[in-house]
Structure 1
Amino acid sequence: MTTGLLNTSEPLPLEAARQALALLPGVSPDWHRHPIEQVVSPDIFFGLDCRLAVPPGAGSQPRVIGTARARAVLTAGHILQGSARVEVLLDANRRRLPWAHYAARTGVVEAINRADPADLVTGFLQGAVNSTVLDLGKTGAYVMSLLDRVPQIDRQPRLKTETGRLLWAVHVQDGAEPDSLVELRDDGMLRVRIGTPAELLPQFVEFCEILALHHWLLSALRNAFERSNRRGRRPEGELDPALSYLGHMWNPEAHLPHEMRGLWQRLENEAQLTWEWKSTVTRVRDKVSLLTRKAIEEALHKEVV
């Protein structure tokens, strides 16, 4: 899952966002106006015939064939996400079947050799190491790039940001209570591992999209504050657009499914994300206030002189 800032100077109005995310002709995107505007594109599908990553020493890499599903999510008109996923079906067939068989099962890939589910979860969360294994991050980034064609995109964002990545993997277990493990490693990429029953999988996807969005918000605001302290930078040039673009965005429970609220609360108890966001916003606003007061004092001094 990839998160970033829409490549434009102003947020897309809701109607323009709905038009932009109609990625399938004749299929309207889902959308919400309250409490935060959000538009979700219909799923689009991509054919796959590749290997899956496995941990070192786990044996051969399973080959999978089928389709991945991906969608774009636009929040508040300017935070864009490319969300891609695939369901891996093990022990289905031992040989490659005609493509019509796989095309009929959208969002599913079938392994044509043996694989251990635990190895597949671990291997995927380690991140793709070469171009021969499944990399859903590239799929999500491609879906995001489709919005570059929208006429309202002026390619002049006023805030410099980096894209964020989140990898998630689920071991589907009937009767299991959702229980996630969230890791942030030195590469800055979030990794989420969970066991959950199949019926809660759509809600868990939404949980990961919300987590990815808010982790990106926190990183983007913190990076803007750090850049404002660098020599040669105009601090207000970093802080003003950061507050304008991001300052009002924090609301993790806005679209959080009811079934996932317990997961989010446990994450808050451990990582204190909301506290860190409020602390960072306070630091940014305090610095803006100090810069404003300094500018006023300098202007008054010039008048007196």
Structure 2
Amino acid sequence: MTAWPDVSPDVGEQPGVVLGAVTTRLLNSSEPLPLEPARQALALLPDVAAGWRRHPIEQVVSPDLFFSLDCRLATRSGSHPRVIGTARARAVLTAGHVLQGSASTAVVLNASRRRLPWAHYVARTGMVEAINKADPADLVTSFLRTEPGGTLLDLGKTASYVTSLLDRVPQIDGRARLRTQSSRLLWAARLHEGSEPVGEVEAGADGVFRVRLSTPSALLPHFIEFCEVLALHGWLLAAMKNAFDRSTRPGRRAEDEMDPALSYLAHIWNPRAHLPPEVRWLWQALEDEAQLTWEWQSTVTRLRDKVALLTRKAMEETLRKEVV
């Protein structure tokens, strides 16, 4: 299911930078979407089947969709070079409940100083060409640090649009019992052939994960999967913690928050399940520093302990009434 982006060396000028975004949210459904209906729902192109895997966690991946781009890239200098081409995006549904949009575009630098016919850009799917000069390091840093808006490239918007296509599917009843927020992850990679891959992850105070990479093009699809896995598990952790926090607020029935959180999400955490072996070192480095799995286990334990305590109190209250 990892067939993109294509940056093969036989297609003219090669990209120097690849930019991407992953958005994650809960599917708006009271029950998880079973595998076969999920495959039907994520077949977003006529006559093109969705990819899927059943073990260890069910996951369905839509075919790639392409979106035209004619926009500007963020830079610290403010020059905002114009890029023209297409973005590549797909939807990913995990365990029938967690929906992600993943979008990227590869940036070819110094390819042309003027706009070419549209057929030229369509032939190079998932790529944009910069008309003005741009520094690769500046593009990476600025994409990760600049809030998109106006004419600037906004791959998060593209990723969210792909997930919105699933809202129209008749199998989705629109009655999710768990309130959650969507999340966003940004990643940027510089392509260096013949060099060892390097990556770093930052969990921002704004709740956005930012991943900076330097990698040979052959490993890029694996890093994209890493970013999708990280976005999924970062969202799971935030959703579970938010459910626990809401359960402690006055005026709320704790069960209304905790029961759907445990039912919908507690079984999904398994970051190594779909993580390619080539990039597991990056997840391990993140675990060594942030200990996300420990935090997840601690949060789930707190939720289950609170459910057990409430259940015991309810039983004691029932027995007390029977005695009286």
Q: TM-score, normalised on structure 2? A: 0.92
After TM superposition, the runs of 4+ consecutive aligned structure 1 residues lying more than 6 A away are none
Q: Deviations over 1:262-301 (max 9, x none)?
A: 1111111111111111111111100000010011111111
Name the structure 2 match of 1:292.
Answer: 311
Deviation at 1:206, TM superposition (A): 0.3
1:229-268 → structure 2 map (5 Å cutoff): 229-268=248-287
Please say if 1:15 is aligned against 2:36: yes
Q: Give how far 1:151 is off.
A: 0.7
The number of equivalent residue pairs is 303
**Is the contact between residue 8 and residue 157 of structure 1 (CA under 8 Å) also seen in structure 2?**
yes
Structure 2 partner of 1:135: 154
How far apart in 2 are the matches of 1:31 and 1:99? 33
Q: 1:200 and 1:180 mapped to 2: Cα distance?
A: 12
Q: Which has the higher contact order (CA 8 A, sep 6+)?
A: 2
Question: How far apart, in 2, do the equivalents of 1:250 and 1:131 lie?
Answer: 37
Alignment deviations for residues 163-191 of structure 1 (CA, whole Å, 9 cap, x no partner): 01100000111122222111122211111
Secondary structure of 2:184 counterpart: strand
Return the match for 2:69 from 26, 48, 63: 48
Confirm whether residue 167 of structure 1 aligns to residue 182 of structure 2: no
TM-score (structure 1 length as normaliser) = 0.98
Give the structure 1 partner of residue 163 of structure 2: 144
AA of the residue aligned to 2:267: H
Q: 1:129 to 1:140 in 2, by over 3 A?
A: closer
SS in 1 for 2:83: strand
Secondary structure in structure 1 of the residue aligned to 2:39: helix
- SS of residue in 2 equivalent to 1:162: coil
- Partner of 1:77, secondary structure, is coil
SS of equivalent residue, structure 1 residue 86: strand
Q: 1:79: which partner in 2?
A: 98
1:156: how far off?
A: 0.7
Kept in 1: contact 2:52–2:61 (CA 8 A)? yes
Can you give the 5+ residue segments of structure 2 that lack an aligned partner in the other structure? 1-21
Aligned amino acid, residue 93 of structure 1: S
Please list the CA deviations of residues 224-244 of structure 1 after superposition, one character each: whole Å capped at 9, or x if unmatched: 000000001100110000000
Alignment partner, residue 48 of structure 2: 27
Counterpart amino acid of residue 199 in structure 1: A
Root mean square deviation, CA, Å: 0.8
Contact residue 42 and residue 61 of structure 2 kept, 8 A: yes
1:29-86 per-position Cα deviation (integer Å, ceiling 9, x unaligned)? 110000000000010000000000112xx24111000000000000001100000000
Equivalent residues in 2 for 1:107-256, closer than 5 Å: 107-256=126-275
**Contact 1:128–1:134, Cα closer than 8 Å, also in 2:** no
